[in-house]
Amino acid sequence: MNGHSILPVDRHPSTPAKGPEEFERLKTEVDTSPNNIHKWDELFAKIDDRINSVNPKDVSAEFKSFIHTCYTELLDRLPFLVEHWRRFSIIEYKLNGIKSSIEVLSRSVDAVQFSVGLWEDYLNALALEKDEKYGHALEMCISLNGHHFNSHNIWDKYLEHKKDNVLPVYLKLIHIPLYEYAKYYNQFAEINKNYSLKDILGDDLEENLQRFGKTSPDECSVIESHQIIDEFSYQIFATNQTRVNAKWEFESKITTLDLNLKVSSDTESDNWFAYLDYEIQHYKQDYNTITNLFERALIPNCFNQKLWLKYLAYINVSDESHKFQVMDSIYSRCVNKFIPLDVNFVRFSYGRFLLKHNKVDLMNDYLLDLVKFFGGDNNSKLYLKSGYTETVESLLVNWSKLVGTEAFLQISQSLLECYFEESKSITAEVETVSRSTVNLLFSRLNDQSILVVIKLYLNTLLSVSDLSNPKDVNGLRQFFNKHYKRPQLRSSVSFWKFYVELEGAGMFNFSHLHQIIKYIQKETTLSKIVVNKFLNFQYNLYTSNYKRFKADVDDDSIIRYQNNLSLNPTDNKYLLASYGKSIRDIKDQFEHPGIVIDNKPDITNKLMNQNFDLFSDEFPYPATFKNIEKANAPIPFPQ
């Protein structure tokens, strides 16, 4: 929740905590694969063994700090590992006594705010120590987890704590669907006669009195007022009971409440989704229960992007008054800590969220940081291509929404000119996106992301063009002529697709299309699947327009176009480029693409080639050969 830094990894370039030698190996292993929970457990088991075998007082300070670092590292990385927090607190208790154990527990409930189990441990420990923080912590816990289905232990403590004035607690409690809802109802039923009608019924007083034909509580006899109270509380009990029963359907299927990295179960998360769907459908207004349920569900499913998005979507449509703050904190939690780096939808959704709430600077900072991070800047070895290009695209799309078509064309054109060194600096002058911001993006572009700029530029340009106007068409074609030979574009699917579709389905200019596709086949490095898609597109165009086709293109026939589908005799990308040159090249490189093996041994006067006829009388002449000594030659692989 700290600002808008985006690093789900490597937040702690760990000061190498030196442990005893036998732990070094395991420590190195977990350092190299920090997500492997089995390795971590192995390490912790070994630590436990060691601790149990010696007197806690003999443990050196160095080893203590080593243990501390280990746990901190893991729990910083994967904060929802409830079980490990517990083990950490136990080990702290053994080594340093209850004070530091409480310290750990307090950190744990900070990290996993919605784990009732950890809160219980924490509160018990505080109670044991008679710590003055107890009251405050309990209030905090109730406010966070009061609607947790299994929070009865906490409520018990709370009732105990508030024993001087339990009525408001009960009045709140009996409405909440809890596992032990019946217990609280019974307890309430025992005490509720001690209070006046007004205390219990509050605002509902008049309504209930009317049903008994009374106007004020004073008119009721003792029996009558008891009856009113009973009926009132039973009504609440009955609604609550239906709800708890419905919830139990789902609750009973939950097998683990904590994050478990060792087994992954789809049915488990399906159950959570079904549970949430049910709750949202029937009790949409019960904000507290549902958000608590979301938070609970997120503990075991914290890597599940869909769940986070569902949570955000729920809050987005709810009546929450501080929507922005709440959603912002959820976004940054999931984006910074949990969602894996190859799942990025929610990251970009965050950008759009900031845009919607008009936090343009925040959005720019956030996405530009993300570009930098994915782009492998800042000496990190990480370069995630898809994440990187998608982020650039997301940022540019946001800009185009923000500034409108004309200004966006200006920005992207300026980026392109600078990138291809046609002008020295960004010249675009747009009010809402400052030049320095554009410059910052420019400094983070590379050959892959420039393709994104081109794609968005072209699509925007097309959207303002009128194809019946030759001037507009010329603009699009000029862009093609200017750029199509650039080496960056040789692998760009979007660029070629744009022009194939434009010339084909937009302009129906078959000779241009033909030229473009020939060029694609010869000079680009697009994959075979993509090229075949283009050829199929072309084929469909031609066969759909026999009439045009017959009139326009006379040097080639329809069936020849189909033939293009099997690109060349080798279907080989490396040879594709050389296809135009000679069949000999293909022949020589057929078996080992890229390695020329000419001088293959052969018979030069093969009978096979001369329509061998058995009815002739001559004995075949002696065979003549070429390169016979090469028959067993090794393949000349490059050194």
Contact 535, 513 (CB under 8 A): no
**Judged by CB under 8 A, which of 547, 634, 635, 638 binds other proteins?**
547
Contact 545, 505 (CB under 8 A): no
Task: Give the residue with the Cβ less far from other proteins, 225 or 344.
Answer: 344
- Nearest approach, Cβ of 422 to other proteins (angstroms)? 28
Binding mask 352-371 for other proteins (x = CB under 8 A): xx-xx---------------
Binding mask 29-68 for other proteins (x = CB under 8 A): ----------------------------------------
- Nearest approach, Cβ of 557 to other proteins (angstroms)? 5
Task: Give the residue with the Cβ less far from other proteins, 615 or 637.
Answer: 615
Q: How far apart, in whole angstroms, are the C-alpha atoms of residue 159 and residue 228?
A: 25
Q: Give the number of other CB atoms < 10 A from CB of residue 154.
A: 20
Task: Give the residue with the Cβ less far from other proteins, 166 or 309.
Answer: 309
Q: Is 64 exposed, middle or buried (0-12, 13-18, 19+ CB in 10 A)?
A: middle
Q: Which of positions 313-352 make contact with other proteins (CB under 8 A)?
A: 313-314, 316-317, 349, 352
The DSSP code sequence of 308-354 is: HHHHHHHHHHS--TTHHHHHHHHHHHIIIIIS-TT--HHHHHHHHHH
Cα 555 to Cα 159, 517, 535, 540, distances in angstroms = 92, 16, 18, 19
Q: How far is CA 240 from the centre of its chain?
A: 37
- Count of residues that bind other proteins according to CB under 8 A: 71
Q: How far apart, in whole angstroms, are the C-alpha atoms of residue 108 and residue 72?
A: 11
Pick the piece of the chain touching other proteins (CB under 8 A) from 120-128, 198-206, 408-416, 542-550: 542-550
- Residue 379 near other proteins by CB under 8 A: no
Cα 281 to Cα 235, 254, 316, distances in angstroms = 22, 20, 16
Q: In this structure, is the dihedral angle defined by the CA atoms of residues 269, 273, 275 and 276, taken in order, positive or negative?
A: positive
The DSSP code sequence of 274-300 is: HHHHHHHHH-TT-HHHHHHHHHHHHTT
Task: Give the residue with the Cβ less far from other proteins, 246 or 309.
Answer: 309
- Nearest approach, Cβ of 578 to other proteins (angstroms)? 14
**Judged by CB under 8 A, which of 306, 385, 482, 581 binds other proteins?**
306
- Nearest approach, Cβ of 298 to other proteins (angstroms)? 14
- Nearest approach, Cβ of 341 to other proteins (angstroms)? 20
**Judged by CB under 8 A, which of 546, 594, 598, 636 binds other proteins?**
546
- Residue 606 near other proteins by CB under 8 A: yes
Q: Which of positions 480-509 make contact with other proteins (CB under 8 A)?
A: 501-502, 505-506, 508
Output phi, psi for 551, to 5 deg.
-75, -40
Output phi, psi for 603, to 5 deg.
-90, 130
- Nearest approach, Cβ of 312 to other proteins (angstroms)? 6
Q: Which of positions 561-580 make contact with other proteins (CB under 8 A)?
A: 562-563, 565-566, 569-571
Side chain identity, residue 93: Y
What are the structure tokens assigned to 56, written together? Answer: 């806690």
- Nearest approach, Cβ of 574 to other proteins (angstroms)? 14
Contact 584, 604 (CB under 8 A): no
- Nearest approach, Cβ of 7 to other proteins (angstroms)? 24
- Residue 312 near other proteins by CB under 8 A: yes
Task: Give the residue with the Cβ less far from other proteins, 248 or 546.
Answer: 546
**Judged by CB under 8 A, which of 17, 493, 558, 597 binds other proteins?**
558
